[in-house]
Amino acid sequence: MSEEKVEHVKCLIIGSGPAGYTAAIYAARAEMQPVMYQGLQPGGQLTITTDVENYPGYPEGIQGPEMMEDFKKQAERFGTDVRYGLATAVDFKDGKHEVTIDGNKKITADTVIISTGASAKWLGLESEQRLNGFGVSACAVCDGFFYKGQDVAIVGAGDTAAEEATYLSKLCNKVYMLVRRDEMRASKVMQNRVMNAKNIEILWNTETVEILGEQSVEGVKVVNNQTQEEKTLKVTGFFVAIGHKPNTDIFKDFLDMDQTGYLKVQSGNTKTNVKGVFACGDAADKIYRQAVTAAGTGCMAALDAERYLTEEGLH
C-alpha cells in the first residue's frame, strides 16, 4: 500500500440515500464542508424502488432513482463533496475518527455521520431479482397501495411478515402468506391478527419455487416441502418479508448495536456510544424504515454533529 497523506475533513458522511443526502444538505448549509462517500449502492434502497408515492412534496409520485438524484443535486448545490467509494474499515478507538475507503485511502474526520442503510434479505431466486420493482417488493407499507383490490402473496413468518400481511389484507382482495414451517415465529398477538383476517390464507410448509411473469408478476409457483405437491397461485404482487440486514459490519468493534446489527443511538438523538459519531436512517432504524423517517434522522444527525463541533470548539 503506498503511503499517502491522510486527508482530514470536518464532517464525513458514510453512505447515501435519504438519510445521508439530508444530513449532507443540513451539514453543507451549516458550513461543515461535508464529504460523502456513497457506498456500494449510491442512493440506497430507493434506487431499486420504482414508484414512490408516499414522500411529501411529490403529488404525482416519483421514481425512486430520480428522487435520489434530486436529493443528491440539492446536497451538491450547497457544497457537499459527493464521492464514489466504499468505507471498508474504521478506527474509532481513543477518540479517533479514522475511516478507510476502498481498502487503501485513509480519512480522519472531526465528525462522522453513518447512513449506510440496511439491505432487504431475499430468497435468492432469479425471477425475484428480475421482477424486483415490477411486482416484487420488500416493503408492503411502501408498495401495498399499488395492489388495491388485487391478490398478492407474502413470504415470511416473523412479526414483520405478520404485520405486513395484516396491512395488505386491508387493501388487497386476497393475501397468501407463505410459511416455510408448520408454525410462525411471530408473537402470539401478531399471529392472532393474521388468523383473524378473513382474506389471509396461510400456506404452511410452503416454499417459493419461482415467480411467474415476463414484464410484471403474474403468479407464483410454490411447493409443499412435505408432500412435494406444487401449485401456482395467481397473484400480481409478491412481498418478501424475511428480514433486513443493516450494513454495519465494519463498525462492530467500536459501536454498540443490537444482535441483528442495528446501531444503537441515544433516545431522542442520533449519538452513538463514540463521541462525534452519529447514526441515522435504516442503519439505526429497524421499526419504520421509510424514506421520510430516514430523511428526518439525517437532519437530526447533521444538527447533532454541528452542536458537537461547536461544543468542542471545532466550528
Task: Give 39-91 as a DSSP string.
Answer: -SSTTGGGGG--EE-SSTT-TT-EEHHHHHHHHHHHHHHTT-EEE---EEEEE
Domain hosting 170: range is 122-240
Looking at every residue in the chain, the average pLDDT score rounds to 94
- Asked if pLDDT for residue 236 goes beyond 50, the answer is yes
pLDDT tier at 289 (50, 70, 90 boundaries)? confident
Query: In this structure, what C-alpha cell is assigned to residue 156?
Result: 415470511
The answer on 252 and 115 residing in a single domain is yes
- Asked if pLDDT for residue 296 goes beyond 60, the answer is yes
The answer on 195 and 115 residing in a single domain is no
Domain end marker among 240, 265, 282: 240
pLDDT tier at 3 (50, 70, 90 boundaries)? low
pLDDT tier at 51 (50, 70, 90 boundaries)? confident
How many domains would you assign to the chain? 2
Catalytic residue among 11, 110, 142, 304: 142
| Predicted local confidence at residue 4, as pLDDT | 66
**What letter does residue 172 receive in the DSSP assignment?**
S
| Predicted local confidence at residue 41, as pLDDT | 78
Among 242, 117, 132, which Cα is nearest to 178's?
A: 242
Residue 1 within a domain: no
Residue 2 within a domain: no
Active site residue 139: yes
Cβ proximity of 289 and 246 under 8 Å: no
The answer on 303 and 224 residing in a single domain is no
- Asked if pLDDT for residue 48 goes beyond 80, the answer is no
Based on C-alpha coordinates, what's the Rg of the chain?
A: 21
| Predicted local confidence at residue 226, as pLDDT | 95
The answer on 227 and 145 residing in a single domain is yes
Active site residue 91: no
| Predicted local confidence at residue 141, as pLDDT | 87
Interatomic CA distance for residues 26 and 130, integer angstroms: 36
Active site residue 304: no
Interatomic CA distance for residues 203 and 229, integer angstroms: 12
The answer on 160 and 65 residing in a single domain is no
Cβ proximity of 36 and 302 under 8 Å: no
- Asked if pLDDT for residue 101 goes beyond 60, the answer is yes
Angle, helices 291-311/17-29, rounded to nearest 10 degrees: 40
Mean pLDDT across 5-16: 95
Domain end marker among 240, 262, 288: 240
Mean pLDDT across 190-213: 97
Q: How many helices (H) and strands (E) does the chain have?
A: 7, 19
Q: What letter represents residue 156's amino acid? A: G
Mean pLDDT across 264-293: 96
Cβ proximity of 80 and 24 under 8 Å: yes
Supply the CATH number for residue 142's domain. Answer: 3.50.50.60
Cβ proximity of 92 and 284 under 8 Å: no
- Asked if pLDDT for residue 223 goes beyond 60, the answer is yes
Catalytic residue among 110, 143, 151, 304: 143
Catalytic residue among 139, 172, 280, 282: 139
Q: How many CB atoms lie within 10 A of CB 253?
A: 11
pLDDT tier at 44 (50, 70, 90 boundaries)? confident
| Predicted local confidence at residue 1, as pLDDT | 44
The answer on 152 and 208 residing in a single domain is yes
Residue 171 within a domain: yes
Helix (H) or strand (E) holding 164: helix 159-169
Three-state secondary structure call for residue 235 = coil
Among 35, 26, 25, which Cα is nearest to 83's?
A: 35
pTM of the model: 0.85
Cβ proximity of 150 and 48 under 8 Å: no
| Predicted local confidence at residue 53, as pLDDT | 87
pLDDT tier at 308 (50, 70, 90 boundaries)? very high
Mean pLDDT across 71-97: 96
pLDDT tier at 7 (50, 70, 90 boundaries)? very high
